Amino acid sequence: MSGPEGGEEEIRQSVRERYGSLAREGGRSCCGDGESSFGGSSGELPHPTAATGCCAAGYTDSELASLPEGSNLGLGCGNPTQLVPLRPGEVVLDLGSGAGVDCFLAAKKVGPTGRVIGVDMTPEMVSRARGLARSCGRTNVEFRLGEIEHLPVEDASVDVVLSNCVINLVPDKGQVYREAFRVLRPGGRLAVADVLATRPISEELRNDPERWASCSSGALTVEEVTDRLRSAGFESIAVSVLGGDPSVESLQAQDEIGVVPGEVRATKPGGPHP
C-alpha cells in the first residue's frame, strides 16, 4: 500500500507541515480546520465521552485533569494507554507522540521507576512536548525527533509500544510494525488507536495528499493491518473496528469513504507477559 502519487517524501512533507502548524497554533484537529473528524470541537475538551471521538474518546475527566495544559491538542482517535495494562517500572514508547498527551498519561502509570519515550517527526511538536515536560517536572518522559519508520530506539529496549491516530499517516505501515517489533522486548505489547477502512479506498482518494494527511485515505482495512502485523512477527493480534456516528457532521467526510476509529493490539512472542 503506497501513498499519493509523488512519493513517500511528499506525504511526509504534507504531514509535517500540517502538524507543525497545529503545534504552533495550539491544536485544532487531526482531520479538519477547527473540528475533529470524529466529532467534538478543537483544542482541549473538558468533558470527553466515547461519542466525542477524535479529540477525546476514551479519556476520563480525571485523566484530562492530570495533563499538562497544552498537551492535548485533540489529535487522537482513542486512548491507547487504556488498551493494555501499563505497569510500574516499564518502558513505554509512543509512536507519533505529538504534544505528549499519551506520554504524560503513560508516565503516571509506569511511575518514577518507569520511563516513557515519545518519537515524532515534527520539530515543532517535539519542542512543544519537551517544554511541557520541563515546565511540569515530568522527569520520566523524554521526546525524540525521528520517523516512526526508523525509530531512534535500541533493539529490545521497550515493554509497550503505543500510538494514537498516526500510523495511518505513514506510507509504509509494514515498516512501522517491523520497527515496533524490533524495539519491543520479548513479550512486549503493542496498543494502537487508529482509523480503519471498512471498505477499499479508491486510488483517486489514496492519491489526494490532503485526504491522506487528514487521517482519511491512508487508513487500512482490518485484514490489511492484520497481515502487516503477522508479517512483522507479532502474535495475539486483535484488530477491532469501533465505528462512529455518521449523523455527526464532522464525521461525514470520513464516513463517505468508510473510515472509522479502531483499536489494534498485538504481542511480540517469547516473553513472560500475557
Q: What digits encode the pLDDT tens for the residues 3-12?
A: 554 467 766 6
* 223, amino acid identity: E
Question: Looking at residue 258, what is its pLDDT?
Answer: 84
pTM of the model: 0.83
Say which residue the cell 497554533 belongs to: 25
Q: What digits encode the pLDDT tens for the residues 15-63?
A: 766 666 666 666 544 333 333 333 333 333 332 323 233 444 678 888 8
Share of residues in the chain with pLDDT > 90 (%): 50
For the 8-264 domain, the top CATH level (class) is alpha beta
Q: What digits encode the pLDDT tens for the residues 218-259?
A: 899 999 999 999 999 999 999 999 866 555 444 545 657 788
Question: What HEC string does 122-186 produce?
Answer: CHHHHHHHHHHHHHHCCCCEEEEECCCCCCCCCCCCEEEEEEECCHHHCCCHHHHHHHHHHHEEE
Q: What does pLDDT average to over the chain? A: 81
Kindly list the distances between the CA atom of residue 271 and the CA atoms of 137, 184, 186, 188, in Å, as whole numbers in the listed order: 33, 10, 4, 7
Closest of 262, 165, 146 to residue 213, by C-alpha: 165
Q: Where are the domains of the chain?
A: 8-264
